[in-house]
């Protein structure tokens, strides 16, 4: 894939889309593409996390022995995996294992943070998008709390 193809692909990832094309160009140039064989772990739970990955092709099963999902989840093309590692030092909360031959774009934290320094408007848009997600999560928790406290009806679906 060309740099332009990588930029166009990254523009389809909701968390990254808000950064804008110029900021995504920096990520596309500095990121690395990786191939992962079927059955191979991209990363393992509890490992130090210094990057996030965008799944380009194939899919990964996300499993946890601890605090992660109770049932395996699947991350397919266009999914940003490990996004918290872009902003802070953390550990992997899941193991990501290729379900089939797969390719990913690896975005190192240091590259991401340098890009945010150089594009303060992108940093502001990212902050606003993350704040909106946190607020939505808080509203959802309040709904669940209301149901558990007997003050509401269970969600449908």
- Average pLDDT over the chain, rounded to whole? 90
Q: Number of structural domains, the chain?
A: 1
Domain that residue 52 falls in? 3-119
How many Cα atoms are found within 13 Å in the side-chain-facing hemisphere of 137? 6
Closest CA to 31 of 103, 123, 91: 103
Q: Which residue has the higher pLDDT, 42 or 68?
A: 42
- The CATH number of the domain where 58 resides is what? 2.60.120.10
Specify if 157 maps to a domain: no
Question: Does the pLDDT of residue 68 top 60, yes or no?
Answer: no
Specify if 17 maps to a domain: yes
Question: Does the pLDDT of residue 67 top 70, yes or no?
Answer: no
Closest CA to 6 of 105, 103, 102: 105
- Give pLDDT, residue 142: 83
- Give pLDDT, residue 20: 94
């Amino acid at each position: 894939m060309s740099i332009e193809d990588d930029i166009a692909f990254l523009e389809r990832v909701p968390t990254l889309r808000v950064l804008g094309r110029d900021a995504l160009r920096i990520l596309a140039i500095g990121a690395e593409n990786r191939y992962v064989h079927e059955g191979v772990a991209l990363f393992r739970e509890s490992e130090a996390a210094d990057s996030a990955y965008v799944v380009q092709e194939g899919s990964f099963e996300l499993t946890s022995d601890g605090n992660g999902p109770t049932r395996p989840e699947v991350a397919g093309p266009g999914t940003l995996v490990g996004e918290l590692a872009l902003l802070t030092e953390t550990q992997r909360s899941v193991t990501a294992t290729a379900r089939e031959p797969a390719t990913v774009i690896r975005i190192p934290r240091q590259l991401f943070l340098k890009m945010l320094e150089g594009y303060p408007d992108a940093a502001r848009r990212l902050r606003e998008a993350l704040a909106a997600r946190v607020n939505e999560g808080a509203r959802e928790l309040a709904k669940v709390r209301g149901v558990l406290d007997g003050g509401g009806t269970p969600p449908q679906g």
